[in-house]
């Protein structure tokens, strides 16, 4: 059976059929999937009946997997590389991960080792909703004027995980019980505003509303308006794709050139169960810790 890839939208995404991910891929199959991933930035493998071992084996071919050992509450029992997401019940309570991802973001951009690839495997999906939105940051960069590209190419932005919890939005009430502990573990970092993809060589905006607080080295009066413009520009409709899941969909996306969002488009009850397995491929070093004593640091 040959592998087929069907384009999903104008902006991004490819649906891959003709492959059983339970089987060991040969060199030709692997090369075709890897090439499709770089071309489409997000892939969907529908109808895959996979065990945790199958998931770890396939996803691990893209690189070392993140270990969720430090988060025993939501990792899959017996599998430290798999994290559970959704509005499922555990120990008589609904998982706190039910509202994860309500702001546009790229996974772990607030660290100096942002995640390379994120994978979701759909165990249960609601009758409607429970979708994930993606935005193509290659396109967002390409559509800027040449003067704006030149201005941004060497610029850095401050990414701070605490921003994610700082404001309320529709369908999401952030809660944070240990801000000092989180700040100590994940201090603010500087990331390039324009990131060069290590495999394709293409440039992409590397900004998101979930973690970006300001443009480094600019006064608030200079940078705040520009940052808001870039955040809105990066998620224009023509750059986006919204995926509606079916049970046993496996999707994977490239955090180096996409950002994503889980909208609050379903109700949290037993009739609207959304249960996902998540795996993450570790990324290469990117960015640097913010020196809060530096002259260029302009706190808001």
pLDDT at 167: 55
What pLDDT score was predicted for residue 169?
46
Contacts of 115 (CB under 8 A, 6+ apart): 66, 106, 107, 108, 255, 280, 281, 282, 283
Confirm whether 295 is domain-assigned: no
Residues 77-92 have pLDDT tens digits of 999 999 999 999 888 8
Confidence of residue 2 (pLDDT cuts 50, 70, 90): confident
CB atoms within 10 A of CB 52: 16
Q: 90 — phi, psi (to 5°)?
A: -145, 125
Where in the sequence is the domain holding 259, given as residue range(s)? 4-289
**N- to C-terminal Cα distance for the chain?**
57
Rounded CA-CA distance 256/283 in Å is 9
Note the pLDDT of residue 211.
93
135 in helix, strand or coil?
Answer: strand
Residue 72's pLDDT band (cuts 50, 70, 90)? confident
Give this prediction's pTM.
0.92
Tally of domains in the chain: 1
Look at residue 294 and tell me if it is in a domain. Answer: no
Each residue of 8-43: pLDDT tens digit? 999 999 999 999 999 999 999 999 999 999 999 999
pLDDT at 165: 72
Q: Does residue 194 lie in a domain region?
A: yes
User: What pLDDT, on the 0 to 100 scale, is given for residue 293?
Assistant: 64
214 — phi, psi (to 5°)?
-170, 165
Mean pLDDT over the full length of the chain: 92
At residue 297, the pLDDT reads 57
Q: How far apart are CA 98 and CA 13, in angstroms?
A: 25
Question: What DSSP line would sit under 42-57, residue for residue?
Answer: EEEETT----HHHHHH
Domain assignment of residue 300, yes or no = no
In a domain, 171, yes or no: yes
CATH classification of the domain holding 110: 3.60.130.10
Q: Render pLDDT for 219-268 as a digit per residue (tens, 0 to 9).
A: 999 999 999 999 999 999 999 999 999 999 999 999 999 999 999 999 99
In a domain, 45, yes or no: yes
- Give the pLDDT confidence score for residue 90 in this predicted structure: 85
Q: How confident is residue 1, by pLDDT bands cut at 50, 70 and 90?
A: low
Q: What percent of the chain clears pLDDT 90, i.e. is strictly above it?
A: 82
256 closest CA partner among 219, 204, 213, 295: 204
What pLDDT, in 10s, does the model give residues 146-172? 999 999 999 999 999 988 776 544 444
Residue 70 falls inside a structural domain: yes
With a cut of 90, say whether residue 126 has pLDDT above it: yes
Quick check: helix, strand or coil at residue 75?
Answer: strand
In this structure, what token pair is assigned to residue 223?
A: 């940078």
| Alpha carbons 8 and 299: distance in angstroms, whole number | 42
Question: Does residue 40 lie within any of the structural domains?
Answer: yes
């Amino acid at each position: 059976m040959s592998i087929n890839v069907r384009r999903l939208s104008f902006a991004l995404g490819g649906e891959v059929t003709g492959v059983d991910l339970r089987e060991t891929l040969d060199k030709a199959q692997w090369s075709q999937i890897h090439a499709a991933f770089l071309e489409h930035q997000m892939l969907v493998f529908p109808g895959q009946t996979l065990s945790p071992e199958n998931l770890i084996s396939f996803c691990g071919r893209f690189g070392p997997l993140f270990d969720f050992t430090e988060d025993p509450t939501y990792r899959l029992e017996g599998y430290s590389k798999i994290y559970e997401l959704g509005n499922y019940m555990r120990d008589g309570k609904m998982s706190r991960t039910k509202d994860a991802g309500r702001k546009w973001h790229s996974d772990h951009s607030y660290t100096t080792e942002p995640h390379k690839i994120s994978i979701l495997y759909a165990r249960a999906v609601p009758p409607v909703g429970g979708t994930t939105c993606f935005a193509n940051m290659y396109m967002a960069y390409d559509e800027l004027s040449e003067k704006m590209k030149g201005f941004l190419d060497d610029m850095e932005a401050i990414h701070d995980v605490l921003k994610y919890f700082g404001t309320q939005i529709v369908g999401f009430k952030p809660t944070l019980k240990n801000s000092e502990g989180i700040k100590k573990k994940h201090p603010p970092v500087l990331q390039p505003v324009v990131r060069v993809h290590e495999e394709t060589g293409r440039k992409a905006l590397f900004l998101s509303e979930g973690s970006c607080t300001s443009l480094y080295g600019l006064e608030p009066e200079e940078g705040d308006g520009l940052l808001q413009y870039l955040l809105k520009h990066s998620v224009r409709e023509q750059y986006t794709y919204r995926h509606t899941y079916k049970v046993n969909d496996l999707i994977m996306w490239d955090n180096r050139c996409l950002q994503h969002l889980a909208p609050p488009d379903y109700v949290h009850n037993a009739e609207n169960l959304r249960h996902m397995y998540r795996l993450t491929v570790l990324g290469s070093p990117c960015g640097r810790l913010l020196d809060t004593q530096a002259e260029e640091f302009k706190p808001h």
